[in-house]
Amino acid sequence: MKKKVKKQHFRKGYLKAYSMSEILVVLCIIGILIYLVVPNQTAVVSSAKAIEAQNMLSMVHGLEKSHFYRHSKYTSDFDALGFEEALTIDKGGQAVYKIEIVEASLNTFKVTATALQDFDGDGIYNTWQIDQDRQLKEIVKD
């Protein structure tokens, strides 16, 4: 018995590969998946950036309390606190929040951290606030 051997004819110079339409279909599917995933990452990014604001406000709170125990009053002067604000993104740094002491008296203080970047593109800038009782709250949600 003779076995038939199938001969494959390949043209010289051609390789087996995917067609252009197959590659385009795969790229379209990948693009659609990325399009579906990216908007969901906005909330993750803004909450991660909010941690920066919360940490900075907690640090200022501790410095204000220390200043209060030494001088029996709160201050609105960062130099008196010994707080050096990190360079913000508008000044070539990496900090996304601007820290401001909005109120400081004998018995109370309020410090805010306002975002310099609109995380989700809705025109609203995230703002956090802390007071002398260490009540940390988000006063403007982004």
Task: Give the chain's residues under pLDDT 50.
Answer: none
Q: What residues form DSSP beta bridges with 140?
A: 127
Question: What is residue 44's predicted lDDT score, i.e. its pLDDT?
Answer: 77
Question: What is residue 11's predicted lDDT score, i.e. its pLDDT?
Answer: 61
Question: What is residue 6's predicted lDDT score, i.e. its pLDDT?
Answer: 58
Question: What is residue 85's predicted lDDT score, i.e. its pLDDT?
Answer: 86
Kindly report each contact of residues 119-127 with a partner whose C-beta sits within 8 Å and lies 24 or more positions away, as own/partner. 119/42, 119/45, 119/46, 119/49, 120/42, 120/43, 120/46, 126/46, 126/49, 126/50, 126/53, 126/97
41-140: CATH number: 3.30.700
Question: What is residue 138's predicted lDDT score, i.e. its pLDDT?
Answer: 93
End-to-end CA distance of the chain: give it in Å, rounded.
Answer: 80
Question: What is residue 80's predicted lDDT score, i.e. its pLDDT?
Answer: 93
